[in-house]
Chains A and B, each alone.
Chain A
Amino acid sequence: MTDRSKAPSFNVPKRLVFPKPEEYELRNGLKLTAVNSGTSDIVRLSLVFNAGSRYQNQTFVASATLNMLSEGTRKYDAAKIAELLDFYGSALEVNIDRDFACISSYSLNKYLKETLEVLEQLVKYPTFPEEELKVYTQKHKERLIFERERIDKQAVELMVAALYGAMHPYGSFGKPEDYDSLTAKQLSEFHHSYYSPTNAFAVVSGKLSSNTISLVEDFLGSDSWGSPVIPADTKDFTIHHSIEKQLLKEMSDSVQSAIRIGKIMFSRTHPDYNGMTILNTIFGGYFGSRLMKNIREEKGYAYGIYSMLVGMKESGYFTIATETGIDYTTDCINEIRKELDILQNIPIKEEELALVKNYIIGDLLRSLDGPIALADVLIDLKQSKLEYTQVNDFFNEVVAITPNRLQELANTYLNTDTFTEVVVGNK
């Protein structure tokens, strides 16, 4: 009989294996990072432009520019682009945040050339046709109207606007009617200004062959396009923090309250970013976190509760997020405050810290597993101009961090009085 009373022994990885990326500068100045990984015959190519919403002069211009790249180019109309990509089984993905706009293609190696030929059209020669823009604005307006019905979305907007000020490039949110005034000319100008090889970087990952780099160079790295000069950034990043520390938006027919509690923190490159990432994990960053244990597993107040550290280029914030039954709203907020106090007043026990360290290391290992995941890690680092070796620095910091250091961080950053509390629902 197997002795079940004893847990089997286990090992925690002592180091991470990060396949060394190769760095290239292509003829037109586009910087390309390539990482060979995996056994499947696939390639992911991502282009990341400094073209997030902070650069736009009117709401939704940045996201519409990115989303409309595939709606028509000099050579192909929208239908043809869709046909070509679908026929090769290739997929496009676009992502945008406050700082960056990213377009990625996922393709089988055997169709990389055909996929790049389409991607080239999208990135260099989009035409932003009026008819497609009309459909786009209609659809997205509807989607936004729907999103704004959700209490969690409302709570996020209220909180972020309260933290930065509603006019701040990181604190503003568009309204559905803002879609009505979008013009093709605005998108075209935004594209010309911000989508250029020298205002971007690229990451290619997958099973790379000898000609992968030259293919990328042929289609995206040879001639120049877009404006050679990036417009001066004149946006005002002065923070206008709401004086009100507790905001309530009543929703009489809601059976739940969305709670968002947050404060301004720092950007991705801050020296305490790694330490706070570890502290955040303990607090509410994984399924076994203190918040999850307390609010879900002990009290049953909510289906889930999370905290996260959001790092942007010029700033960042920390937030706690949950949806709870309206009757639990006040108790839930009190428990969150209590957990923040505990982090400041009581050093974390070695046993819990060991667990969190092992968990984070496993998570790191998973985040480096396979070409698609690896590219995500590289993009995140490149956006902050960090080297890939930073992953190992983080690993070492995880191994070395002490209860004292974590308590120190909690006292520096997680003082309950410094948070803004938002409730959408009922108290």
Chain B
Amino acid sequence: MIDYKRYTLNNGLTLVVHRDTSSPIAAVNMLYKVGSKNESPEKTGFAHLFEHLMFSGSVNAPDFDKAIQMASGENNAFTGSDYTNYYITLPKENIETALWLESDRLLSPNITEHNIEVQKSVVVEEFNQRYLNQPYGDIWLLLRPLAYKVHPYSWSTIGKKVEHIQNATAEDVQAFFNTHYTPSNAILSIVADMDEDEMYQLVEKWFADIPNRKAEQNAIPQEPKQLEAREQAVYRNVPSDAIYKAYKMCNRVDADYYTCDMISDILSNGRSARMYRRLVQEKQLFSNISAYLTGELDEGLFVIAGRLLPAISIDIAEQAIEEEFRQLIDKPVTDYELEKVKNKVEAAQIFADTSVLNKAMTLAYYEMLGDLSLANREIELYRKISKDDIGRVGANIFNPKRCSTLYYLSNSKT
């Protein structure tokens, strides 16, 4: 249970705070409601490149990292399709250092030609290291455009191609900042052993005088309903075949979202999960297989990802996956199995709440979703899911006409 308080500053910044008495560490988390979905299709990879530039210092704090480290802190960030998240942990006495730095880079980051050139190069190397020069590294660069034809989820946060990053200009970067980095487009969350109103006062002190700029965001083009099965086969220099099946599912705030998540748990969370037991251990078709949700705000994907054992044909492997769907839809899950996955969700939640940083991220995330109370109500929502829900939602998701399949085949096998 996270007891939180929520505040809104006059400039539109939302603040969520929670007092945690168990830790000497404070977590300060800043979420901007901008991600790769806000990029133009001709200039992809921008949200992520900009995240890198946010560490280049700001008008009053020329060296961001140095100031954090001097105050015994640590920081990092990540960019997704829907949002960009920056976080700092440091001794709670030094919380103002974090607020000074976060507010100053929201006010005016150092976007210089030199910084842009260096970070473009760093991001290109990241692209190379994680996506191009890595076995199976380009799977999502292929799968996203297969699954999405209109929605910007059709490209990865790293961008469609290296050239988009190389072509970024200072004007592009400045325009991106002006449009998306404004107080009313941000959510700040703090978890620390400190009085909640005191945290609010400190945030007022550092953020209240930052003027709100009107964020002019373009509407996100929505994906039309997928009506046909899509397939793509590629050959790569990898040791074994892989199969990815991505089914369109509901959006993040849909009532069925938690049921989808529970289905993915039934299929693949833990060693006793169905796909691990049957497809890895018993039938010995895959060296590993997992089911998960992309969990994005708009209509997301329910993904089955499997890597095949040698000598197993991809058709047999695919049929075995589909057989699991049939089992799930046709035969009701047992009370025991349902209870098991619910227990697992609950335990995972309790473990996650041992970290101040996790809690801060959770609060900012649910505030972005628009219902902060979910941070504490999710367990209840999982608990309510019935056997019928599993069958009904399963039948809905696992429709071949809403599936995009990527056959990622090994050159060495042919």
| From A9, A135, A145, contact of B240 by CB (8 A) | A145
Say yes or no: B23 contacts A370, CB within 8 Å: yes
Residues of chain A lying within 8 A (CB to CB) of residue B174: none
Say if the beta carbon of A365 comes within 8 Å of chain B. Answer: yes
Known: A82-B272, A362-B73. A7 touches B100 (CB 8 A): yes
Say yes or no: A300 contacts B120, CB within 8 Å: yes
Contact with B along A1-17 (1 / 0, CB 8 A): 11011011111110001
Q: Which of B141-149, B220-228, B344-352, B368-376 contacts A (4 or more CB under 8 A)?
A: B344-352
| From B25, B238, B310, contact of A149 by CB (8 A) | B238
Say yes or no: B126 contacts A369, CB within 8 Å: no
Say if the beta carbon of B353 comes within 8 Å of chain A. Answer: yes
Nearest B residue (CB) for A138: B309
Say if the beta carbon of B135 comes within 8 Å of chain A. Answer: yes
Interface residues contributed by chain B, number (CB under 8 Å) = 85
Q: Which of A27-35, A291-299, A342-350 contacts B (4 or more CB under 8 A)?
A: A291-299
Residues of chain A lying within 8 A (CB to CB) of residue B344: 86, 89
Say yes or no: B350 contacts A142, CB within 8 Å: no
Say yes or no: A82 contacts B277, CB within 8 Å: yes
Say yes or no: B133 contacts A139, CB within 8 Å: no
Say if the beta carbon of B74 comes within 8 Å of chain A. Answer: yes
| From B65, B120, B271, contact of A287 by CB (8 A) | B65
User: Can you list 9 A-B contacts with CB-CB less than 8 angstroms, sorted by A residue number?
Assistant: A5-B60, A7-B97, A40-B354, A41-B350, A135-B281, A288-B65, A300-B121, A325-B124, A366-B89
Interchain Cβ contacts within 8 Å, total number: 217
**A4 to B209 CA separation, bound complex (whole angstroms):** 11
Say yes or no: B104 contacts A40, CB within 8 Å: no
**A424 to B403 CA separation, bound complex (whole angstroms):** 39
Q: Which of A57-65, A165-173, A353-361, A404-412 contacts B (4 or more CB under 8 A)?
A: A353-361
Residues of chain A lying within 8 A (CB to CB) of residue B90: 362
Say yes or no: B70 contacts A358, CB within 8 Å: yes
Pick from A78, A79, A297, A366 the residue with the most CB of B within 10 Å. Answer: A366
**A427 to B340 CA separation, bound complex (whole angstroms):** 54
CB-contacts of A17-58 with B (<8 A): 17, 38-42
Say if the beta carbon of B94 comes within 8 Å of chain A. Answer: yes
CB distance from A239 to the nearest CB of B (A): 32
Known: A38-B22, A106-B351, A256-B129. A362 touches B91 (CB 8 A): yes
CB-contacts of A136-154 with B (<8 A): 138-139, 142-143, 145-146, 149-151
Specify the main secondary structure of chain B where it touches its partner: helix
| From A151, A358, A372, contact of B72 by CB (8 A) | A358
Contact with B along A251-266 (1 / 0, CB 8 A): 0011110000000000
Say yes or no: B271 contacts A82, CB within 8 Å: yes
**A303 to B74 CA separation, bound complex (whole angstroms):** 18
Say yes or no: A256 contacts B69, CB within 8 Å: no
Say if the beta carbon of B66 comes within 8 Å of chain A. Answer: yes
Say yes or no: B129 contacts A303, CB within 8 Å: yes
Known: A7-B97, A303-B126, A323-B129. A288 touches B355 (CB 8 A): no
Chain B residues with a Cβ under 8 A of chain A: 21-25, 59-61, 65-67, 69-74, 76, 89-91, 93-94, 96-97, 99-100, 103-104, 107, 117-126, 128-130, 132-136, 205-206, 209, 237-240, 269-273, 276-277, 280-281, 284, 287-288, 307, 309-310, 336, 339-341, 343-344, 346-348, 350-351, 353-356
CB distance from A113 to the nearest CB of B (A): 15
Residues of chain A lying within 8 A (CB to CB) of residue B307: 142, 146
Say if the beta carbon of A164 comes within 8 Å of chain B. Answer: no
Say yes or no: B70 contacts A301, CB within 8 Å: no
Known: A146-B135, A300-B118. A365 touches B270 (CB 8 A): no
Say yes or no: B239 contacts A11, CB within 8 Å: no
Residues of chain A lying within 8 A (CB to CB) of residue B59: 4
Residues of chain A lying within 8 A (CB to CB) of residue B271: 70, 78, 81-82, 85-86
CB distance from B82 to the nearest CB of A (A): 23
Contact with B along A64-92 (1 / 0, CB 8 A): 00000010000000110111011111110
CB distance from A222 to the nearest CB of B (A): 28
Say yes or no: A87 contacts B121, CB within 8 Å: no
Say if the beta carbon of A308 comes within 8 Å of chain B. Answer: no
Known: A4-B100, A7-B61, A10-B70. A79 touches B125 (CB 8 A): no
